[in-house]
A and B are shown apart, each in its own frame.
Chain A
């Protein structure tokens, strides 16, 4: 049975404002609030809300026959939370139907999978946590920003524990193979790949309203007949696009939502079903590993990274942004504004605005006039941001050193927690002991060795962190707090002895 795996990306970058070089060092707010509000409300009104309402209706009408998957980048979640919370409401309702799966993706919708693995892992986890928190689902399947994929990214994703990943079904990686099967990652067979059928996806997302297209107007039965007519055995059809394609790129007036609405019923008649990525992976086993040496994406006709890292300016910005030294410091720091700016600056659109490629469709450049304007503005902002990151810690401190200090602090925190627990336990016991002492005096000596045992265990632990911390200059505050806690503890143990 043919299975359509329908997936929508919800993403809108946070637009940067006009930032001149003389603002560097004086202005640390980089965002164009007006543009952000305008775009996200327009998207919500024209596309997100009508599309989600239609899907809710479809699920109600068709029972469990209609399934769909979403992925939402963390930065656009922030935008939606701020300017269009009603979209979250609808997403919550969709999540409650049980017919919707949420996928994980890097929080920033950035290029960290190519730039820095540590950061990639950390922001993906952050994103998954946020999805869990908002929609009560832990994502099992991963999709990368712009569907970027190569073998190494696949291996990292498998290590994070995801069982599946969405990948562009580009001709140059598949060769003679069909995108309608499940493949596995060449470096780690634990990860299965669902491939995007770009022809059938773009029929809806790109060409639906194109009157010059030979198949115009596209009707649901025609499109489904293409799916149903696929050769025997080719069962999985990955239909992936931006949610904005419904209603924004293809206007509501083109009846694209009616097209969508008609799909489940007709599909049933034609013997085509819908499934979420997880269901697809549960039912279909990978047929073979798929080797992808150079990164693929779903951008442009080339389906590679050329629209993001194609020219010298883009690579310069990329290298500056993912400089190892910088990323280490950002990951180590606890400054929330820096963390937030870092997420927002990474978004792939910042790089796409700098493209000099002619993709034949005209480039959307946000607030910028030209690729040079985009580069200049981005580099000015990046200059200010990097300066702030460098100012966080003195230059002389190495990243490794920073990391070890931070892990040490983290370890100390854990130890303090353990000790706090212990103290409260001992106190409780002491209370109990006091009350029993009053009642049964002779029982006390029997209890005593028991109370001493945990105290002995605690002692070596108490000393160890203090020794480690001595040679380092950083983290004096934490050290003293440990000492204080230790002091606090002494009277407690003493009383226990009594």
Chain B
């Protein structure tokens, strides 16, 4: 499996999804996952094997075992020597090679991202030659070239996981380089897993893929930790809090939320609006709120980390995700776990599997304002959504997603159906 992020180091939703998928698969007992990522921290959970792409050689260097054996994060020195036996071309011209013949990665999303993606794919060639595996699974466009390369070398089926497309990120104005990487990956894939039907349609229509190889594979959530469950909400009586949580960028539609807030505040002043998150549109939003004269009711607490996110959900009466285009959007599921009713845009992928949320068009600010007002005003609606929402979201588990992925794997590899009855029953009973 090729991935770019993995917890505990989280840049965005990709890490969480990668974790959920690998964990769900590992629980089936007979799936061995090797997760190749640019720069692990060494603190990853050990239910899967991590390969540190920064420490895979692409050039032969004569190094002593004793000198290097303690330097590895992720895989071991033995793995290193095995990789070194499978070099396939002379990459001495590459810059940034270290004493072990490896290419370093900065991790995250640096400026020279395209160069890193290319290096990642070069290393994948080494891995594909040295490792034994049945299937390649590549997460997000950054790893598609690596997946395609590995497929070329090994001839094993390639499954790519579309967590987002450039059409979502750019509201339609795609970056041609990114598009070509995405398209190439999809063209070579044997199976395209999309995080929602919405994304699947984008893949089919914008990337011209065969619908038969595209499957919608919705994300899930993990049950809340006890530590988070123990958070006691700190709500003021007679005052309601409506929360927007996410990057304050064009894709997420914060301006629609602000317009709705304005309409609600014309009617009732005892509602506060919280814009949690940061992003390039944050200052514009603050200015807009001020020009509407509602700055006293709008709060911008900035980027929320870890536990703060859940505190934010728990203290809110309504969660709003007005995304213009959201491949999946895991935030409403987390809000529902905390018993906070959610309003999401119809352009969000998670809406396809959620029933107990209010869905409005992102541009329909009247409908959004109406929904916010009625949840704040009518306790019956709030309580119904909160209770039923928790019940519903408890049913959405990574174990179930793991099983569906497993079905696709079995089809790709030509193996029989997964028939561990005990495990299947356990998952069904969640």
Contact = CB atoms under 8 A, between A and B. Distances in A.
A and B physically associate: yes
Interface of A: 20-22, 24, 311-313, 315-317, 356, 369-370, 372-373, 375-377, 379-380
Given A22-B369, A376-B370, A313 B266 contact: no
Contacts of A317: 380
A315 B388 contact: no
Nearest to B341: A372
A494 B379 CA distance: 68
| Main secondary structure on B side of the interface with A | helix
B385 interface: yes
Given A21-B373, A21-B374, A375 B381 contact: yes
Interface of B: 263, 266-267, 358-359, 366-367, 369-371, 373-374, 377-381, 383-385, 388
A313 B381 contact: yes
A22 B266 CA distance: 8
B267 A372 contact: no
Contact of B370 (A312, A313, A380): A380
A365 B379 CA distance: 22
Given A312-B383, A313-B384, A375-B381, A370 B374 contact: no
A372 B358 contact: yes
Contacts of A376: 358, 370-371, 374, 381
B370 A356 contact: no
Given A20-B369, A20-B370, A373 B384 contact: no
A372 B369 CA distance: 13
Contacts of A375: 374, 378, 381
A369 B379 CA distance: 21
A369 B359 contact: yes
Contacts of A21: 267, 369-370, 373-374, 377
Contact of A311 (B367, B369, B370, B384): B384
B350 to A, nearest CB: 15
Contacts of B381: 312-313, 316, 372, 375-376, 379
A423 B193 CA distance: 93
A376 B381 CA distance: 9
B68 to A, nearest CB: 61
Nearest to A319: B380
Contact of A380 (B359, B374, B380, B388): B374
A313 B382 CA distance: 9
Nearest to A375: B381
A449 B139 CA distance: 112
A313 B383 CA distance: 9
A20 B358 CA distance: 15
A59 B381 CA distance: 51
Contacts of A316: 378-381
Contacts of B385: 372
Query: Interface centre among A311, A312, A313, A379, by most B CB within 10 Å?
Result: A312
B28 to A, nearest CB: 31
A241 to B, nearest CB: 31
Contacts of B359: 369-370
Given A376-B370, A376-B371, A22 B380 contact: no
A467 to B, nearest CB: 47
Nearest to A316: B380
Given A356-B388, A372-B358, A375-B374, A313 B380 contact: yes
Contacts of A380: 370, 374
A33 to B, nearest CB: 20
A370 B380 contact: no
Contacts of A369: 359
B91 to A, nearest CB: 57
Contacts of A311: 384
Contacts of A315: 380
A373 to B, nearest CB: 7
Nearest to A372: B358
B267 A22 contact: yes
A369 B266 CA distance: 25
A290 B263 CA distance: 55
Interface centre among A20, A369, A376 (most CB of B within 10 A): A376
A169 B286 CA distance: 63
A311 B374 CA distance: 16
Contacts of A356: 384, 388
The 10 A-B pairs of least Cβ separation, nearest first, read A316-B380, A376-B374, A21-B373, A312-B380, A312-B384, A372-B358, A20-B370, A313-B380, A20-B366, A21-B370
A22 B374 contact: no
Given A370-B358, A376-B374, 16 more contacts: A20-B369, A21-B373, A22-B263, A22-B267, A24-B267, A311-B384, A312-B380, A312-B384, A313-B378, A313-B380, A313-B384, A316-B378, A372-B358, A375-B374, A376-B370, A379-B377
Given A20-B370, A312-B383, A373 B358 contact: yes
Contacts of B267: 21-22, 24
Contacts of B266: 22
5 contacts: A20-B370, A21-B373, A22-B266, A313-B384, A372-B385
B380 A372 contact: no
Nearest to B355: A356
Contacts of B374: 21, 372, 375-376, 379-380
Contacts of B373: 21
A187 B119 CA distance: 86
